[in-house]
Structure 1
């Protein structure tokens, strides 16, 4: 019986099969961390106006209107 060698490409020990198995898991965790950070940063006005108000259906939830009597200028 002869020993047959097969070439398995890898970069720093990561094979395509291993990467394909872990990409969906990291994608889910990355999305959860991103959403958590977005809602953690919600009180910052720049985040609220530039990101959260531009969400198609839910954007009006983050609109903060200031009463004209409360404006100092």
Structure 2
């Protein structure tokens, strides 16, 4: 059996030398980096969701299906038309 690099046995390791540890990763990204990236992506996603809801708040279907179901502020989006203004 031929090896590309020679197999080494455990040799002396100085207590004053660098301490190398295996660092688990996913496609080169460490779990610490993935956590920070996930937090930032979640923050940007939350802001984007709020902006879409804010811009779409004038659409009656969005008001009925989404905004009226939010506790405490849902009653702000209920628009009752008086019977005198109803054309039918």
TM-score (norm 1): 0.77
Counterpart check, 1:24 vs 2:24: no
Larger-Rg structure:
2
More helix by share: 1
> What root-mean-square deviation, in Å, do the aligned CA atoms of Structure 1 and Structure 2 show?
2.3
Distance in 1 of aligned mates of 2:22 and 2:86: 70
Distance in 1 of aligned mates of 2:24 and 2:61: 45
Count of residues paired in the alignment = 73
- Give how far 1:29 is off: 1.2
Structure 2: gaps of 5 or more residues: 1-11, 14-19
Question: What whole-Å deviation, never above 9, does each CA across 1:11-39 have from its counterpart, x for those lacking one?
Answer: 44433221111111111111111011001
Structure of higher RCO (CA pairs closer than 8 Å, 6+ residues apart): 1
Distance in 2 of aligned mates of 1:70 and 1:14: 62
TM-score (norm 2): 0.66
More strand by share: 2
Structure 1: gaps of 5 or more residues: none
